[in-house]
C-alpha cells in the first residue's frame, strides 16, 4: 500500500513538472508567434534592441512590441489562450486513448467516453470564452488584433469539436 502511495506521489510530481515545462514552452511559443504575426524578427538580439527603443507603457512587457493593447488586455488574451490550450491537451489525450480501445478491450471504456464527453463540452465553453474575448473589444482595431492573435486557437478548438462530432456523435 505504501508503495502505491509513493508511486502516485512520484507520478504527481512528474505531472506537475511537465505542466510547468509546458507552461514555459507555451509562453515562449506565444512570444515567437506574436512576433511572427506582427512581422518582427524573433531573434533575441533584435528583441533586446527593440526593448531599448520602446517604452514599457505601450508595449508587451515580454517582447517590447507595440501592439496597441494595454498589458491587462494582453494578459487576458494570454490567459484565455493558455486555458484553452490546456483543455485541448486534455481532450486530445483522452480522445486518442478512447480511439485506441473498445468495450471488449478496456473495462473502463464507458468512463473514458464520459470523460471525453466532458472535455468536448469544455472545448465548447473555451470557444465561447474566446468569442467573448474578441467581442468584448472596445473598438474595431482591438477586435481585429484579438482575432489575429486567437485565430490559430479558434481553428484548433473547431477542429477538436469537429473531430469529436464526426468520430463519436455521428456514427451512432
Residue 131: partners with Cβ closer than 8 Å, 6 or more residues away: none
State the DSSP code for 69.
-
Report yes or no: 144 and 135 within 8 Å, Cβ to Cβ.
no
Position with higher pLDDT, 9 vs 58? 9
Rounded distance between C-alpha atoms, residue 32 and residue 104, angstroms? 45
Rg of the chain, C-alpha, whole Å: 20
Note the pLDDT tens digit of each residue in 28-64.
555 666 666 555 555 544 444 444 333 334 444 444 4
The pTM of this model reads: 0.63
All domains of the chain, ordered by start, with CATH? Answer: 1-67 (no CATH), 69-172 (1.20.58)
Alpha carbon 109 to its chain's center: 27
What does the mean pLDDT of the chain come to?
A: 77
Residue 166: partners with Cβ closer than 8 Å, 6 or more residues away: none
User: H or E element: which one contains 29?
Assistant: helix 2-37
Angle between the 71-99 and 2-37 helix axes, to the nearest 10 degrees? Answer: 130
Position with higher pLDDT, 120 vs 145? 120
Q: What is the mean pLDDT of residues 67-89?
A: 89
Q: Which residue do the cell numbers 490550450 mark?
A: 85
Position with higher pLDDT, 94 vs 8? 94
**Nearest to residue 90, comparing CAs of 109, 118, 111?**
118
Note the pLDDT tens digit of each residue in 97-143.
998 888 898 899 999 999 999 999 999 999 999 999 999 989 898 99
Amino acid at each position: 500500500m505504501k508503495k502505491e502511495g509513493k508511486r502516485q506521489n512520484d507520478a504527481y510530481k512528474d505531472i506537475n513538472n511537465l505542466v510547468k515545462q509546458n507552461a514555459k514552452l507555451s509562453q515562449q511559443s506565444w512570444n515567437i508567434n506574436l512576433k511572427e504575426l506582427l512581422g518582427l524578427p524573433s531573434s533575441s538580439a533584435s528583441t533586446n534592441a527593440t526593448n531599448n527603443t520602446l517604452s514599457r507603457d505601450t508595449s508587451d512587457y515580454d517582447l517590447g512590441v507595440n501592439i496597441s493593447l494595454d498589458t491587462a488586455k494582453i494578459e487576458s488574451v494570454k490567459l484565455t489562450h493558455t486555458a484553452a490550450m490546456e483543455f485541448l491537451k486534455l481532450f486530445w489525450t483522452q480522445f486518442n486513448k478512447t480511439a485506441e480501445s473498445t468495450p471488449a478491450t478496456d473495462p473502463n471504456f464507458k468512463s473514458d467516453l464520459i470523460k471525453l464527453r466532458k472535455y468536448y463540452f469544455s472545448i465548447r465553453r473555451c470557444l465561447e470564452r474566446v468569442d467573448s474575448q474578441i467581442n468584448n473589444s472596445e473598438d474595431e482595431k482591438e477586435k481585429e488584433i484579438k482575432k489575429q492573435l486567437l485565430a490559430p486557437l479558434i481553428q484548433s478548438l473547431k477542429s477538436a469539436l469537429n473531430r469529436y462530432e464526426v468520430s463519436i456523435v455521428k456514427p451512432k
